[in-house]
Amino acid sequence: MPEPEIIITNGVKGRPLSSAFDTLRWLLSINSWLFSNKKNLTKRLGTHSIILVHGDTMTSVVGSFIAKVLGTKIGHVEAGLRSGTWRHPFPEELDRRIVGKMADVHYAPSSAAVAALEPRPNIVFTHGNTALDALVERTATVASSDKPPYGLVLLHRFEFLNNSKLVTETISTLESASPLPLVIVADDHAKHVISAEVDKLNSTKITVIDKLVHQDFVQLATNAEFVVTDSGGVQEEMGFLGTPTLIHRKATERSDGLGRNVSLSDWSIETLTQFLTDYKQHKYPVLELEYSPSDIIVNDLRERGYGQK
């Protein structure tokens, strides 16, 4: 994709949000931008436009709110996923439900997601998430790693990082129970929390690195022996690749890989320890992508008359 024409806001003065006060300032800055530019935006969008939001982040809610203020239709990509409890993951589960109430077109990646949205109109079954298209494209060019075997860890969710006891127990268990060196990929906020725990252990087994561009991440993930994560997107990708994966969460809204190569920890340190011990038993063959979710979405948008010159 090209560089964005407009960046509404970049965190708080260029740094990631790390507190409720930061979030409030961020939301206020977006609101100020929106109402200062509402007239020009409405004119530019015209009478037949759609704003697409993706997933379950707060930006999905904000994008939907912007669309409502501008009187524009909303398309929700990755719609209808439900964990079954609003408490986990928090606040992502609430974000999904809020956007689901606001959206006009719902692009649902699974039959369960379709069922969760019924009887609403304009539900489109995409047979997966668009991330799978990107994954298949990237894995075609991934080379085998000449590095020693390693495990990959991605833990970034608000509910995990704000549970200090769980963070300490998890990092300590990864250090003591993993039979392989570990690479932890973390954004700025997660890196601050996780690196502090790794430093306490004086670990030589764990390396913490910054988030990677997609191509480099796929290279790293494809060659990992196992994955421990709280990311729903990574669950989808690893479920497709067949890599032994533990979802370190209380609940997951996705079914990808569950019962095959993917397990749910329920935040149990015992389950984490057991997974690290017998991860090889969870290896599964790579799946084939029968449909392109991205093509389904683009074709549906065209049929609705969006994006036409």
pLDDT of residue 290: 93
Query: 209 with 133: CB under 8 angstroms?
Result: no
Residues 90 and 218 in one domain: no
Does residue 37 form part of some domain? no
Instruction: Give the pLDDT confidence of 55-80 residue by residue, as tens digits.
Output: 999 999 999 999 999 999 999 999 99
Average pLDDT on 14-25 reads: 86
pLDDT of residue 12: 87
Q: Is the pLDDT of residue 34 over 60?
A: yes
Confidence class for position 309, pLDDT limits 50, 70, 90: low
Residue 5 to residues 1, 2, 8, 29, Cα–Cα distance (Å): 11, 9, 10, 18
Instruction: Give the pLDDT confidence of 191-223 residue by residue, as tens digits.
Output: 999 999 999 999 999 999 999 999 999 999 999
Does residue 261 form part of some domain? yes
Residues 123 and 166 in one domain: no
DSSP per position, 79-96: -----S-TTSSTTHHHHH
Does residue 3 form part of some domain? no
Q: Provide the CA 252 distance to its chain's centre, in angstroms.
A: 12
Residues 111 and 145 in one domain: no
pLDDT of residue 116: 95
Residues 80 and 145 in one domain: no
Number of domains in the chain: 2
Residues 222 and 256 in one domain: yes
Instruction: Give the pLDDT confidence of 158-175 residue by residue, as tens digits.
Output: 899 999 999 999 999 999
Residues 160 and 267 in one domain: yes
Residues 276 and 157 in one domain: yes
Residues 75 and 118 in one domain: yes
DSSP per position, 198-265: HHHHT-SSEEEEE---HHHHHHHHHT-SEEEE--HHHHHHHHHHT--EEE-SS--S--TTBTTTEEE-
Does residue 246 form part of some domain? yes
Residues 123 and 248 in one domain: no
Query: 273 with 174: CB under 8 angstroms?
Result: no
Does residue 15 form part of some domain? no
Average pLDDT on 119-124 reads: 96
Does residue 36 form part of some domain? no
CATH of the domain at 119: 3.40.50.2000
Q: Which residue range(s) make up the domain with 104?
A: 46-128+292-303
250-274 in b/e form (b: 16+ CB < 10 A) is: bbbbbbbbeebbbbbbebeeeebee
Average pLDDT on 82-95 reads: 90
